[in-house]
Amino acid sequence: MANEIGRKIKQRREQLGLTQAQVAARGGASQAFIAQVECGSRKNVTVDTLRLVANGLGCKIADLLPDEDKHPAPESRAA
């Protein structure tokens, strides 16, 4: 999942024509953190830090999540 998040962050950043440092400055995360997430070396990404990156990219956290994590789990029904 972390690799997919990193790929989506990098893709969004490049679409906007921003550097890692610019995203960091806009969102409040460090450039090193963004680099680690993008390359997949950062495995644990909290919602709070992901929010900073999303703010820097001008998007919602959900836009950075893998597609399978965007859909609610099916409700279990009691038999």
Q: How far apart are CA 8 and CA 6, in angstroms?
A: 5
Whether residue 51 has pLDDT greater than 90: yes
pTM for this entry: 0.81
Residue-averaged pLDDT of the chain: 88
Which among 51, 47, 54, 41 has a CA at the least distance from the CA of 8? 54
Q: How far apart are CA 57 and CA 16, in angstroms?
A: 8
pLDDT above 90 as % of the chain: 72
The domain segmentation of the chain, as residue ranges, is 2-65
Whether residue 31 has pLDDT greater than 50: yes
pLDDT bracket for residue 75 (50, 70, 90): low
Whether residue 7 has pLDDT greater than 50: yes
2-65 fold: 434 Repressor (Amino-terminal Domain) (1.10.260)
